[in-house]
Amino acid sequence: MFATIIPALRTPRHVNAFDYAVPNGMDVCVGDLVKIPFRKGTAVGIVYALNNAESEIKNLKEIQGSYGGLRLDADTLSLLASLAARSFSSRASVLHAWLGNLPKREQRTGRETRNTEHANTPTASFLLPGHVQALIDRATELILSKRKLLILTPWASRADRIAEALRTEALTSDKAAGKRYKLWSSFVRDESPVLVATRLGAWLATEADTIILDEPENDDHKQDELSPRYDARWIAEAAQCYGRSVIKMGLTPLLNTLTSLQVNDFTSLQVNELTSEQALQPDNPPIRQSANTPDISPTFLPIDIHRSDWSPIAGMQNRSVLHLEQANRDGRPAFIIHPIHGDRARLRCKDCSWQAACSRCGSGLTVKGGKLMCLRCRNEEAMGLACPVCGGTDLSRSRGGRDRLEADLKERNLEARVCSIGEWNALNDLPEQSLVILTDLSLFSGGVEDLRKKERLIVAFRRLADACASAHAELVIQSDPELLTEAKRWLSGRGCEDALRAELKERELFRLPPAYRLLKLIIRGNEGHANRQLGLLKDRMAPNAPFLITGPFPVLHRPSHRTPRWIGHISAPYGTKTEKFERLIEPLLASDTLFDLDPIAFFE
């Protein structure tokens, strides 16, 4: 007898599995994690199939033994194959991304009865945003009803707080390899009834009975750095095809819940309702769901930015300073969210608008500590005293950054914690009756310029408003009058949905998701090579093919050590099967081109 085993290794796209002999007397089942000889060392793999017949390959190497006594569900194997097909990667590479670095000495424990004593009603001493507390309450109900529960949340700090409230630990990337293994293996063995994880643990969706997807509209669920490139939200939704329940808890609806054209947003379909091909590649659009967007009612103090009202404190209008002074007099904690780094924003000449650019990657430079710093590649350069274009010496057109803001507050004896967007998102709890000031709403979604910026801004603003409403905090927002008027409407569920439907119409004009399926190609090399690669695909298309190929677009900001990269887009109507994309891009599958069916940034 021999076994087909998928190793947890990075392999080329078409190298998926290897055959190994099963030693006499060894009990091996499909889904078992096993140790196998590989080249001159040892690797860990998963048994994908067993065959009682004689192997055509002579002198097969033998399986060395079980790894940790672990056995994954058959549905997990099917999900593995499905994700590999969707991400145009080998199954071995996907398994490697799932398991990560495994400890050499695995831990073996017996299968235990689920313990729910720790899952009492949460008694956390810290304050959480309203919808997060609702998530914890719902999770507690599910655990007490003996449901095996996986909670996926976008941020490590949020995962730790949810885990603390549920009296368990969170599976995050900052844990050591051995600790990570202990957490997920205990969940697989049913020793722990609940696992809280970031996208790192999304692959365990089919090992659970129920998945709670926290902040389902947040792009931090997406693994977008290396191949395979996949979305944790897609894994959770695909698990519904195998009978798992998925509960989405967030404040803002996904765009594809506001239209009948829903790609990869699944309802609870049982496995026996699907053909084997559909179960392997679940691209079927589901029944339309109601968005049910909640209203949010913070103490909202809008301040329209006016040129004549700038205060001596960097980034703050005089009216905002009055609120800060009142909070200091009342002894209330104050937070200022200021998205601009360093001493000043990107250095610009006031006379000719010249902007300093990084000599290494081309990104704009900010002033920090008397030097120019690139926040993309961390390159530092000396700051000149005059503009190299016009010779002007007034290099002060840029707005003040957090360093300047903190210095101005200290000079005037005003107390406030100044946060970047990332620091605010990582804030564990907001004290009651606080004051929160956002210096520029237009910058709150980050500096990425693509068609998703408005959607990201709505999501971020509603999350900020919910945190303030839960803590009974005052929320001061500085912005231009038009955006402030829009933001007021976003606080209501109806207004939020109307804004997102308008966003959806704009996406349709540009053939972008969710109205269309979009495959992003990341091609390494010069422009000529990128044009030849896309030309191969255009030559393969039939006259009436539904695909539209655009590009190549240059990736402008990149570290100097990285080769040039170009972006190509292949769009097709919603419902187009992944197999059709695969047939079209077949000539490029043997190359080092990266493919992404769930792109976060549409152009970079």
Rounded Cα gap, residues 384 and 400, in angstroms: 18
Weakest-pLDDT range from 174-178, 275-279, 573-577: 275-279
Task: Quickly tell me which residue has 């972008």 as its tokens.
Answer: 512
Mean pLDDT, residues 90-108 taken together: 86
Give residue-wise pLDDT tens across range 404-426.
899 999 999 999 999 998 889 88
Weakest-pLDDT range from 17-21, 53-57, 289-293, 547-551: 289-293
560 pLDDT exceeds 70?
no
Task: Quickly tell me which residue has 């957090």 as its tokens.
Answer: 402
What is the band of 276 on the pLDDT scale with cuts at 50, 70, 90? very low
Locate 91 and state its tokens.
Answer: 């199954």
Rounded Cα gap, residues 604 and 447, in angstroms: 13
280 pLDDT exceeds 60?
no
What is the band of 291 on the pLDDT scale with cuts at 50, 70, 90? low
Give residue-wise pLDDT tens across range 58-83.
788 999 999 999 999 999 999 999 99
Mean pLDDT, residues 312-328 taken together: 95
Q: What is the pLDDT of residue 287?
A: 33
Rounded Cα gap, residues 5 and 38, in angstroms: 11
Cβ-proximal residues to 57 (8 Å cutoff; 6+ apart), any chain: 19
Mean pLDDT, residues 152-169 taken together: 91
Element (H, E) at 210: strand 210-214
Mean pLDDT, residues 438-462 taken together: 85
DSSP 8-state secondary structure symbol assigned to residue 46: E
| Secondary structure class of 562 (helix, strand, coil) | coil
What ranges do the domains of the chain cover? 2-99, 130-251, 299-506, 516-596
Mean pLDDT, residues 267-271 taken together: 29
Mean pLDDT, the chain, as a whole number?
Answer: 84
What CATH topology corresponds to 516-596? Alpha-Beta Plaits (3.30.70)
Nearest CA-CA partner of 2 in 44, 61, 71: 61
Q: What is the pLDDT of residue 286?
A: 38
Rounded Cα gap, residues 441 and 538, in angstroms: 42
Weakest-pLDDT range from 251-255, 348-352, 370-374, 569-573: 348-352
Residue type, position 604, single letter: E
238 pLDDT exceeds 80?
yes
Mean pLDDT, residues 250-269 taken together: 60
Q: What is the pLDDT of residue 301?
A: 95
- Percentage of the residues of the chain whose pLDDT score is greater than 90: 50
Q: What is the pLDDT of residue 377?
A: 72
| Secondary structure class of 213 (helix, strand, coil) | strand
Q: Which CATH superfamily is domain 130-251 in?
A: P-loop containing nucleotide triphosphate hydrolases (3.40.50.300)
Q: What is the pLDDT of residue 16?
A: 92
Mean pLDDT, residues 191-208 taken together: 95
What is the band of 555 on the pLDDT scale with cuts at 50, 70, 90? confident
Rounded Cα gap, residues 517 and 291, in angstroms: 21
438 pLDDT exceeds 80?
yes
| Secondary structure class of 373 (helix, strand, coil) | strand
To the nearest 10 degrees (0 to 180), the angle between helices 493-509 and 453-470 is 170
Mean pLDDT, residues 293-315 taken together: 93
Weakest-pLDDT range from 204-218, 352-366, 522-536, 551-565: 352-366
- Greater confidence, 326 or 115? 326
Backbone angles phi, psi at 81, to 5 degrees: -65, -40
Mean pLDDT, residues 299-317 taken together: 93
Rounded Cα gap, residues 296 and 278, in angstroms: 39
| Secondary structure class of 103 (helix, strand, coil) | coil
Distance between terminal CA atoms of the chain? 49
The two beta strands, 435-438 and 334-337, are parallel
Rounded Cα gap, residues 474 and 427, in angstroms: 17
The CATH number corresponding to 2-99 among 3.40.1440.60, 3.40.718.10, 3.40.50.150, 3.90.1010.10 equals 3.40.1440.60
Weakest-pLDDT range from 205-214, 233-242, 586-595: 586-595
480 pLDDT exceeds 50?
yes
* Beta strands per DSSP E along 429-479: 435-438, 474-479
Q: How would you write 477-530 as a 3-class SS string?
A: EEECHHHHHHHHHHCCHHHHHHHHHHHHHHHHHCCCCCCEEEEEEEEECCHHHH
Locate 429 and state its tokens.
Answer: 């709890």
Q: What is the pLDDT of residue 528?
A: 94
pTM of the model: 0.83
Nearest CA-CA partner of 325 in 401, 435, 228, 470: 435
Q: What is the pLDDT of residue 531?
A: 95
